[in-house]
Amino acid sequence: MFAEGEILLNHIALTFMVGANLHKPAYDIDWRINQGWDNTPRDIPEEWMLGEYNSKYKLKKLIATRLGLRYYLFGNDSTPIHNIFAGASINANLGQADFTEVSVGYVFLLTEK
């Protein structure tokens, strides 16, 4: 589930997305590895648990965001029926970068203005 928007500036577009992750099993391991070392004592006791699953973990696992930039081959001011774009975006979990994405796409306009 997500909502996505795009601000068109002729050949350039800014894209943004916010949504909810319904299933992300690998994030549990990522959280333990990356968040568990904040307050670790010098001598680690056996019962020490890295990266507790608290409310911050639950929010970051649930909320997904994306921010990107696209370049359209034909300007959007003239409303072309066919257009090709190349773009790059950063995908994040509640604002913390997760991975980058490079995309190439084709747009077909169903109705003419």
Domain residue spans of the chain: 2-108
Q: What is the pLDDT of residue 37?
A: 65
What does the pLDDT average to over 36-49? 70
Question: What is the rounded CA–CA span in Å between residue 56 and residue 60?
Answer: 6
Query: Is 65 a residue whose pLDDT tops 90?
Result: yes
Element (H, E) at 60: helix 55-62
Higher pLDDT, 87 or 22: 87
Query: Is 36 a residue whose pLDDT tops 70?
Result: no
Token pair 């930039």 in the structure block, residue: 69
